[in-house]
Amino acid sequence: MELKIIFMAILGVVSLVYLTTLFFKESILQFILKGCLVPLVLAVYVTSANIILLPVVLALVFGWAGDILLVKISNLLCFRLGLASFLTGHILYIITMLSYAMPFNITVLIISIAVAVCYGVISFRVIKPSKEMRIPVIAYDAIILIMLVCALQLFLSQRSLFGVFVLAGSFCFLASDTMLALLTFRKKLIYIYVMITYIAAQFLITLGFSVLN
């Protein structure tokens, strides 16, 4: 328990300092701090989880790889590889969520899928990705929305802090990735908003799985 508190405190300080550096020019400190965020989330998870789930650990590893690759977000290859890393991480989260989401609430499932499809269509029209990025963006948005639907089913199945944290984290991921897309293709947002919701997403989802008995 003491290690968990220590790592959570370090994560809080590093996150605050990193977010502060986003108001200034890019620097090696900013790169280093960003690279420390997900490893610290992983440290919190490993030191606090009642059951350490390998897919959650791997999801964080792929998330960390995505963070590093997206430092060069203007580079198309790095952007695609970063998307692929995050996509893999989200799929691993989905697989883990499905293990605890049974039985499905069919009514909510149908409604949530319909809402997700509508959201996906609207966000695609708003974001307007470049021609070469349309397929990757559609695939990535689909996975994010599937993860959110699964998180909702997990919440309805578990009805505990486990479900609350995972659902809240999934909503943060949706917000973060939507804002990242807007920033990338429309230049409408400040990057700090992307990172605030991203850090919250990774932390809340892993916190949810850490209280799993």
Please determine, for residue 71, whether its predicted confidence score (pLDDT) is greater than 80. Answer: no
Which is more confident, 185 or 207?
Answer: 207
pTM for the structure as a whole: 0.89
Residue with tokens 């944290």: 165
* Of 59-73, 116-130, 154-168, highest mean pLDDT: 154-168
Structure confidence by residue, pLDDT tens digits, 172-201: 999 998 888 777 776 656 788 889 999 999
Residue 209: band (very low, low, confident or very high) from pLDDT cuts 50, 70, 90: very high
Q: What is the pLDDT of residue 135?
A: 83
Taking residues 20-49, what's their average pLDDT? 90
Please determine, for residue 159, whether its predicted confidence score (pLDDT) is greater than 90. Answer: no
Q: What is the pLDDT of residue 107?
A: 93
Q: Which helix (H) or strand (E) holds 55?
A: helix 54-69
DSSP conformational letter for 131? G
Task: State the Cα–Cα distance between residues 145 and 117, nearest whole angstrom.
Answer: 8
Taking residues 134-161, what's their average pLDDT? 89
Please determine, for residue 52, whether its predicted confidence score (pLDDT) is greater than 90. Answer: yes
Across the chain, mean pLDDT equals 88
Taking residues 44-56, what's their average pLDDT? 93
Taking residues 115-130, what's their average pLDDT? 84
Please determine, for residue 133, whether its predicted confidence score (pLDDT) is greater than 80. Answer: no
The three-class DSSP label of residue 181 is: helix
Task: State the Cα–Cα distance between residues 115 and 117, nearest whole angstrom.
Answer: 5
Q: What is the pLDDT of residue 187?
A: 67
Q: What is the pLDDT of residue 74?
A: 65
Please determine, for residue 203, whether its predicted confidence score (pLDDT) is greater than 90. Answer: yes
Q: Which helix (H) or strand (E) holds 98?
A: helix 76-98
Q: Please give the C-alpha separations between residue 44 and each of 11, 36, 161, 206, in angstroms, as whole numbers.
A: 8, 12, 17, 8
Q: What is the pLDDT of residue 38?
A: 96
Q: Give yes or no for a contact between 143 and 91, defined as CB atoms under 8 angstroms apart.
A: yes
Which is more confident, 94 or 75?
Answer: 94
The three-class DSSP label of residue 51 is: coil
